[in-house]
Amino acid sequence: MADLIRRVAARMRLLLIPHRTEPAPQPPAPRPAPPSHPLPAHRSPYGLHLPLDGTATIAVRPYLIAHEQRLRRRELALAALGLDMPGPYWIHGTEVA
């Protein structure tokens, strides 16, 4: 019985395992050595060669800008209806109250 199982397993291996007809792939060729002279220093067109200064710009939060715009539009709409609201006297180039 054991011999029968070995023969069936050997035939199944022949059917299921593909056989190579082409030679095995060769290992990749070694990479060429890098050039002995270093590349020239490149300067970034965006000024990234300098360290960034966080105090040079003002941080703007978009949600705060949107809230201020909503307040200004509401004041302008109320001013157009003749209602006086405390706030800036000029909104989007229109004099308010």
Query: What's the structural domain count of the chain?
Result: 1
Task: Let me know if residue 20 belongs to a domain.
Answer: no
| Dist CA 12 CA 34 (whole Å) | 51
Question: What is the pTM (predicted TM-score) of this model?
Answer: 0.32
| Residue 39 resides in a domain | no
> How does pLDDT run across 73-85, given as a tens digit for each residue?
988 888 888 876 6
**Residue 80 domain flag:** yes
Structural domain containing residue 86: 65-97
Least confident of 17-21, 64-68, 81-85: 17-21
pLDDT at residue 85 in the model: 61
Report H helices in 1-97: 2-16, 62-80
In a domain, 87, yes or no: yes
| 94 within domain boundaries | yes
